[in-house]
Amino acid sequence: MPLDTGAIARTLMRTPGASADGLETTHTLLCRREAGAFQRAAKATGPGEALLVACTQESQLFLDLNAETAGAPSTDERPIHFVNLRETGGWSRDAKAATPKLAALIAAAQMPDVQPVTTVPFHSAGRCLVIGGADAAQSAAAMLRDRLAVTLLVDEAAGVDGALAQRRDLPVFAGRVTRLRGWLGAFEVQWSSSNPIDLDLCTRCNACLDACPEGAIDFRYQIDLSRCKSHRDCVQVCDAAGAIDFHRAPLVTDERFDLVLDLRETPAFSQHQPPQGYFHVPHGPQGVRGAAEPKRLFDAVLQLRELVGTFDKPKFFHYQHRLCAHSRNEQIGCTACIDVCSTSAISSDASRKGKAKTELAGGIVVEPHLCAGCGACTTVCPSGALTFAYPGPVDQGKRLHRLITTYARAGGQHAALLLHSEQAGAKLIDDLGRAARVDRSVHGVPARVLPVAVWHTASVGIDLWLSAIAQGASQVFVLLTAEEAPEYRAALAEQMAVAQALLTGLGYAGEHFKLIEARDARDLAALDAALRSAPAQVVAQPTPIVAQADKRATLDLMIDHLSAHAPAPADVVALPKAGAPFGAVLVDTAKCTLCLSCVGACPENALADNPERPQLRFTEKNCVQCGLCETTCPEGAITLVPRLLLADEGRARRQPRVLHEVEPFRCIRCAKPFGTLKVIENMMAKLSAHPAFQGAAAERLKMCGDCRVIDLHSNASEVRITDMPRGTPRY
C-alpha cells in the first residue's frame, strides 16, 4: 500500500500529545525477515511507555516475539497497542490520498489508556441445569458432566422425546419451568411436576412398565395420562419405592444454578440479549434439530465448560438519581431507557411503598449483572442521568477530537467518522479492505472516512455526534451489523433524526448522519456504496472544545457553536417528537389554576414558581421533554412542544420566562394574598352543595388560614363541642 511516512511524521510532530518516533523506517516484512527491528524496539521501549505496531493481522505473533525477546519488558510493564492502517485505508482505490487519515489513526492510537472502571463480579461453582427432552438433555449432559455438576430437567412439553438411560449418573427431574430468572452464578429456577411418578424416588426397576396394561408408561418413567385408564396396577408394584402417587399435589421445586442450557423450542428469556450464563439451543420434536443446531450446541457446550470460577466484567454505566426524569410522586414521565434496554436490566422504581422517607424514590434501578454494555440507555437518556463509562464521554470525546484535528492538520477535508463495533463491525471493514485489494469494482474505505471502533455502536449518541460536527467533521456514520437489537436501531434512528433536524434548521446542507446496515459479508457492496456518499456541509470554524462529562453541558456548548456559525441562523428549530431532548411547555391559561403541581413534578427545575406573586415560570434550557408536568397537571393544561430555542444568541432559552400569571386572591378579612382567584372559585364551586360549607362557613373559604381560625373562634353563634349536652355522641 502507498505510504508517505514523511508526511505522516510531520503531521504527528505538530499534533499535541502525538509522537513521530519510529517513523524513520518504513517496514515491509516486520513480522518475518524484519522481526529483529521489532525486537530492538521492544527492548528500547521502557516500562510505562507504550509500543505501537501498525499491524493487527500479526498481533499475536508480535506478542509472542515480545515474550521471547530477552530484555524486553512484559506487556504488564509496557503495553503493546496495534492499529490497522491497511484494511482501513491502504487497501482502497484512493489510498494515495489517505495520508491524512493514516496520520489521524496513528495519533489516536497513541493516546494513553483510559482509566479502568468499576467491575461487576460473577461467581460460578459449575452447577448447570440442562432443560429439554430426555434424549437431547442426556446427550448435552454427557459433554458437560466431566467439567460441571449437571442436573437434568426433562421438560414435560417435550412429549415422547426419547428415553432416560437405565443407569442414573445425574440428578434427573421432570416438570414444566414456571420461573427462570437471574444471571451467571445466580439463576433461580422453579419448576412444577404434576405427573404421578416422582423421578427422584423412581428406582427404574421397570416394574410399572411391565404392569401397565395400556402401555401408558415408557422409558421416560412418566405416565401418559391420556392413555391411562386408572387400573393403578403400577401403584401396587411400586409400593416399596413409593414413587407413584395419583393423589399427590403438583410438586413445586425451587433451586439455584450457576448455568443453564435450555434445549426447548421457546427460550425462557424473550429479550434480544439473554443473561450471561444462559444458552438457548432449540431442539425440534423427537429430538430432531435443524442443520445449524449441532454447531450451536457444540459452541454452547464449549462456552459452558469454561464458565467455572470468578469472573469480572466492567460496570458500563453511571447513574445519577438527581437527574433522572423517570418519575415523581409515583407519576411516570420518561421511560426511554427502560424501553430501549434489550437485556431487561432496567426497571422502574417509581413507588414509595415500603420505603423510608429518607430513601430515594422516583427513579430507575439498573441491575449491573444483566447489563451487557450496549449503552443505548445512555444514548436515549435526555437528562444525562445515565452515562456510558466504558469509556466515558470525556475520554471518547478526546479520542474523536484527536482524530478530526489531526486529519485536518494533515490537509484532510470533509472527514466522516465511521463508528463500528469492535467485533462484527471491525470484521466487515477488514472484509471490505481485502475485497478492494483484489476486486477493481470495490472501492474500499474512502480516504475521508475515519473508522472508530467502539464497544457498542449504540453507546455513542447525539452529544458526541454533534461534538464531531462542531469540531469540523462533515458526517457521522454508524455501521449496524447483526449484533444490534431492533430497539437500538430504532433509538439511533430517532436520535439521528433529531440531530439532523437541528443542523438542517440552522442551514447546514447535506446528510450529516447516517445508519449503514451491513449484517455480513454479503452486504459488502451496500457498505461500499454507502461509504462513498457525498460529504455534507462543515462548520466554518471548528471548535477546540471537547465533550464534557455532563451530556447537557456538551449539547449546550456544541449547539451554541453550531448556531453561532450557522449558514442560516434561526430563532427556533422544530424537532421530531420522538427522542427530542429539548423543547418548550405550552400552558392553556384558560384551564390553568396555578396549583403548581407541575413545579413539584419537574425533575430538572425547568418549571418554577415565584415566591412573590402567583406565577408559573419556565427555563427552556432545562426542559428534557420528559412529560411529567403534562402527566401531573390535574387540569390537562400543559402541552409539550419539541423544539430548540436559539433566539437572542441562545440567551432566550437560558432565561426564565412567565408562562402564566394571575392576580392573587386576597383574604376578605385582612386583605393578605393567599391564593389565586381561579383556585378559590373552583373550590367554592365544588363545595357549594356541601352542608358543612354553607353561610359563614362558606365565607371562611375566602379567608387566609389565620383569619379562618380567628373567625371560627370569635363567632358567638357558632356551636362549640363544650356546649353540647352530656351523652351526645362525639365523632
- The pLDDT assigned to 356 comes to 60
**How would DSSP label each residue in 571-593?**
SEEE--STT---EEEEE-TTT--
- The pLDDT assigned to 132 comes to 92
**How would DSSP label each residue in 609-678?**
E-TTSSEEEE-GGG-----HHHHH-TT--EEEEEEEE-TGGGTTTTS-EEEEE-PEEE-TTT--EEEEHH
Is residue 138's pLDDT more than 50? yes
- Tell me the percentage of the chain whose pLDDT exceeds 70: 95
End-to-end CA distance of the chain: 95
- pLDDT of 583-634, one tens digit each? 999 999 989 988 899 999 999 999 999 988 889 999 999 999 999 999 999 9
- The pLDDT assigned to 547 comes to 97
| 536 in Cβ contact with 511 (< 8 Å) | yes
Is residue 422's pLDDT more than 50? yes
Asked, as a colleague might, if the bond just before 581 is cis with ω within 30 of 0, I would say: no
| Average pLDDT estimate for 17-35 | 93
Say how far apart CA 98 and CA 114 lie, in whole Å: 28
**Considering only CA atoms, which of 366, 321, 323 is closest in space to residue 581?**
323
Coil, strand or helix: which one is 300? helix
Q: How many CB atoms lie within 10 A of CB 539?
A: 22
Per-residue confidence at 288, pLDDT binned at 50, 70, 90?
very low
- Tell me the percentage of the chain whose pLDDT exceeds 90: 72
Say how far apart CA 380 and CA 190 lie, in whole Å: 35
Mean pLDDT value across the chain: 91
| Average pLDDT estimate for 76-103 | 95
- pLDDT of 462-515, one tens digit each? 999 999 999 999 999 999 999 899 999 999 999 999 999 999 999 999 999 999
- The pLDDT assigned to 511 comes to 98
∠ CA 675-680-682, rounded to 5° = 135
Say which residue the cell 505496531 belongs to.
53
Coil, strand or helix: which one is 479? strand
Q: How many CB atoms lie within 10 A of CB 516?
A: 21
- The pLDDT assigned to 168 comes to 83
The DSSP code for 82 is: E
Coil, strand or helix: which one is 314? strand
- The pLDDT assigned to 289 comes to 47
- The pLDDT assigned to 155 comes to 87
Say how far apart CA 551 and CA 582 lie, in whole Å: 13
Maximum Cα interatomic distance, the chain, rounded to a whole number of Å:
115
| Average pLDDT estimate for 560-584 | 97
Coil, strand or helix: which one is 273? coil
Q: Give the cell for residue 14.
A: 505538530
Name 356's Cβ contacts closer than 8 Å, sequence gap at least 6. Answer: none
553-559 long-range Cβ contacts below 8 angstroms, 24+ apart:
554/393, 554/397, 554/463, 554/464, 554/466, 554/467, 555/462, 555/463, 555/466, 555/581, 556/621, 557/470, 558/463, 558/466, 558/467, 558/469, 558/470, 559/466, 559/502, 559/644, 559/646, 559/650
- pLDDT of 489-504, one tens digit each? 999 999 999 999 999 9
pTM for this predicted structure: 0.88
- pLDDT of 100-128, one tens digit each? 999 999 999 999 988 889 999 999 999 99
Beta strand ranges found along 217-345 (DSSP E) = 251-257, 259-262, 278-280, 309-314, 317-319, 327-328, 331-332
| 130 in Cβ contact with 149 (< 8 Å) | no
Is residue 286's pLDDT more than 50? no
Name 68's Cβ contacts closer than 8 Å, sequence gap at least 6. Answer: none
| Average pLDDT estimate for 557-572 | 97
Cα pseudo-dihedral 391, 533, 486, 388, rounded to 10: 10
Is residue 687 within a helix (H) or strand (E), and if so which, with residue range? helix 677-687
Q: What values do phi and psi take at 326, rounded to 5?
A: -70, -45
- Helical pair 99-109 and 5-13, crossing angle rounded to 10 deg: 50
**How would DSSP label each residue in 107-155?**
HHHTSPPPPPPPEEEEEE--EEEEEE-HHHHHHHHHHHTTTSEEEEEEE
Per-residue confidence at 160, pLDDT binned at 50, 70, 90?
low
| Average pLDDT estimate for 413-425 | 97
Name 648's Cβ contacts closer than 8 Å, sequence gap at least 6. Answer: none
Q: Give the cell for residue 478.
A: 454508524
Is residue 287's pLDDT more than 50? no
| Average pLDDT estimate for 245-265 | 93
- The pLDDT assigned to 291 comes to 43
Is residue 361's pLDDT more than 70? no
- The pLDDT assigned to 161 comes to 60
Q: What values do phi and psi take at 82, rounded to 5?
A: -130, 145
Name 619's Cβ contacts closer than 8 Å, sequence gap at least 6. Answer: 605, 606, 608, 653, 654, 655, 656, 657
Say how far apart CA 509 and CA 512 lie, in whole Å: 8
710-716 long-range Cβ contacts below 8 angstroms, 24+ apart:
710/669, 711/669
- The pLDDT assigned to 355 comes to 66
Amino acid at 477: F
Q: How many CB atoms lie within 10 A of CB 438?
A: 8
